[in-house]
Structure formats: structure tokens, C-alpha cells
Structure 1
């Protein structure tokens, strides 16, 4: 990917659920100096056994503090957009039962597969959680 040549390092990748019968999607987080880059990709073909991905949207994200992190869709949901994958900038805080819950969520985005974009959403109703068994 061309981003690696620009001094960005891949931090994580997430496979996303697309529309039934449609192409596969993924979101990849890159660290580019002090900023994060979130890239939405669609599978556009195959080269042998390897999928070929095309970038369809991306966001540059600045964290408000070193304790804030990009929280992944496998842990986050939105009561306003219950069927969409949700990314959030916030902090995870340990709870008395050993689980973690989001605290101080300052920004959130949903993956809008229909329009193939990352869309900002209100942070109220966004919850990220990690159970002790996870």
C-alpha cells in the first residue's frame, strides 16, 4: 500500500460486513506520526489467492490526548446506528467486575456501506465495551 511509503505504519485492520451479495470491505488504521489515518477499502478483485483492495474513503484523526485511542467496531456500537460498524475516539476504563467500558468518547464514525464512506456520528449513544473473557 502506498501509505507505508509515506511514513505510515499499519496498526490494525478490521473486516467489515457488507451488503448481502456485495463486495467485501475492510477498515485499516495507520499511525502517521502523531496522527491516525482510518482507511475504508472495498475488495475489487483477486490476484491469485490474494484479494485486491481499493481505497474508497479515508479520515485523518488527531487524538486529544495520549490516553485516547481509536476504539474498534468489534467493541463499539451506537444506539442510533445499531446495524453499522462504529469506530470511536475515547478511553477504556476498567470497571469493578474487570470489564472495560468507554469513557470520554469525543468522536465517532460509522461505516456507511450504502454510500461507501466513513460518516461522523454523534457520540451520545456510542458505547464501547470489553468483557473480561475477551
Structure 2
């Protein structure tokens, strides 16, 4: 039970962000490719006065990918989204997960939203910290792309109160 608790706690903590993102994207917008399922998603902060952005983790059969999307219009009351960048995700173990920007930061790119591929491990104080981070990407809104970054100086954390 203690091994699965960190994953469950991290997933439960992401529910508000993922729920908000699904609402922002609109449920009528299909995933980027036929047969793909959205595993998680998050609304991203764009440039003031610019278009809205979101990111989603998609599962297409056995393949996983992280996609960056830009709002390109409206479909009735729901926003319409277009995929503008995509990176493949290869998990080195089933315990690795895509860690969201609301919990991750990079000392090399302190102003950017960062996704990481790693594991969250419970600490003695009840908090969770990233471990075994193997890849990371920052959201480059100006260039509208996901840019790979070094994992040095990267930390994903979840406090007990979160």
C-alpha cells in the first residue's frame, strides 16, 4: 500500500488542474489522433492578450505523448484547439509518470512552466519530492514549442497540505 500511495496522492492532487483543463479545452474537441485517450491535461498561462494554451498527455495504443495546444477559435460555446507541438514520452519503468508544471520548477528556467518524467517519493514529513527524473521539457510560449531541458536543477514537490 505504501508504494502505491505516492502515485495515488500525486494523481489526486492533480485532479483540480486536470479537471480545469478539460473544462477549458471543451469535451467536444477530439484528441490529436484517432484512437488516442487524454491521460491528463493542464491549462497553461500564455502571454497577456495572446491566445490560450493547454498541454495534454495522450495515450495512443502503447505510445504516450505530450502535446502543446493553442486555442484557435470557438466551436459554439466551447474553445477549439490545435496541436502545435508534440513530444514522445518513453517511460523507463511503470512507476515513472509525467509530472505537471504546477509541481515542478527548474533553476535553469525559473520563469517557464516545466513538465518532467520521473517518480514522486514520499518524504518523512509527508511531502513528496521527485526522484529518478529522466527527462524534462519547458513550455516555450514565444516559439510555441516544447523544448527539452536538462534535469539538473529540476525539482517537483508536493507539500502535505496540497
Q: Report the TM-score, using the length of structure 2 for normalisation.
A: 0.79
> For residues 61-101 of structure 1, what are the alpha-carbon distances to aligned partners after superposition, in whole Å with 9 as ceiling and x for unaligned?
11011111110111111111111110000010100100000
Contact 1:4 1:10 in 2 (8 A): no
> For residues 14-52 of structure 1, what are the alpha-carbon distances to aligned partners after superposition, in whole Å with 9 as ceiling and x for unaligned?
000111111000001112233311110000111221001
CA 1:24–1:114 in 2, change beyond 3 Å: closer, same or farther? same
Partner of 2:16: none
Gaps of 5+ in 1: none
Contact 1:40 1:117 in 2 (8 A): yes
Q: Report the TM-score, using the length of structure 1 for normalisation.
A: 0.94
Partner of 1:106: 134
Q: Secondary structure at the match of 1:57?
A: strand
> For residues 80-130 of structure 1, what are the alpha-carbon distances to aligned partners after superposition, in whole Å with 9 as ceiling and x for unaligned?
111111000001010010000000111000000000000000000110001
More helix by share: 2
Q: Secondary structure at the match of 2:135?
A: strand
More strand by share: 1
Aligned pairs for 1:11-90 (under 5 A) are 11-90=39-118
Partner of 1:120: 148
Gaps of 5+ in 2: 1-29
Cα distance in 2 for partners of 1:67, 1:112 equals 27
User: What count of residue pairs does the alignment treat as equivalent?
Assistant: 133
Q: Secondary structure at the match of 1:66?
A: coil
Cα distance in 2 for partners of 1:57, 1:38 equals 8
* RMSD between aligned residues: 1.2
Structure 1 runs, 4 residues or longer, greater than 4 Å off: none
